[in-house]
Structure 1
Amino acid sequence: MKPESVNKTESFYMAIILYKSSSDTLDYQPLYQESFVLIKANSLEAAKAKALNYGKNETVSYKNENGETITWSLQQVIDVNSVLDDEFDSCEDGVDLYTRHFRNYEAYQSFEPLLSNEQL
């Protein structure tokens, strides 16, 4: 008798992926991008593997307006976790997908350009 295959349903996970820009220009200052990516997987482990693969596949190079080559590449997968509410079909506006906590607002403010109206 064959064992029945376990049919796990897929769930949604939120991956926080950090990318870094680089250039061969001597005075280039790297820029970082934090992306929140929705992943569908059978388990947290599978979601982590998918997030890593996704981040690696997002590497891109291009010439900017000054003719300099800019490369965006995966810096690190910061976190992967289940979304807080994955019932998207019946959701209203304002559904929480992911939350995280911090203690130092000044540190957050120092790297979040939208809080200081910084133009990128």
Structure 2
Amino acid sequence: MRHVAILLFAAHRPGASPLYEETVALLEVPPGAEPRTVALAHARAAGTSYRAIDGEQVTVRLLEVVDVAPALTDGDGDLYSRHFRDLGAYRAFEPMLDGEPL
């Protein structure tokens, strides 16, 4: 069965504030497997370390598996939906709503 996982990562480099990334992953969960365990294994495997173009070491690591839920559809359509109560907090969190670049 397909599940959607919301994953939170942090990219660290020396002397800089971390850059956070929210990833939406579509996962195939085998019958009998625990969806959160599959999501955690996928997310941990996605962690990496590399040299940036300026030679600085960048480390990307998993902070949290935020949510794991069955995909809402197997074909075209919505995969995942979540709800919140504070639009102001969402707007402050999501700069692209106001057209701001990262």
Q: TM-score, normalised by structure 1?
A: 0.76
Q: Which residue of 2 aligns with 1:76?
A: 64
Tell me, yes or no, if structure 1 residue 50 matches structure 2 residue 32.
Answer: no
Residues 9-44 of structure 1: CA distance to partner in whole angstroms, max 9, x if unpaired? xx1111001101112x22x1111111111111125x
Correspondences of 1:1-120 after superposition (within 5 Å): 11-23=1-13, 25-26=14-15, 28-41=16-29, 42=31, 46-86=34-74, 88=75, 91=76, 95-120=77-102
Whichever residue aligns with residue 17 of structure 1, its letter is L
Gaps of 5+ in 2: none
Distance 1:109 1:68 in 2: 32
Between the aligned residues of both structures, percent identity stands at 36
Larger radius of gyration: 1
Shift of 1:113: 2.6
Q: How many residues align?
A: 101
Distance 1:37 1:59 in 2: 14
SS in 2 for 1:73: strand
SS in 2 for 1:103: coil
Shift of 1:67: 2.1
Shift of 1:85: 1.7
Q: TM-score, normalised by structure 2?
A: 0.88
Shift of 1:53: 0.4
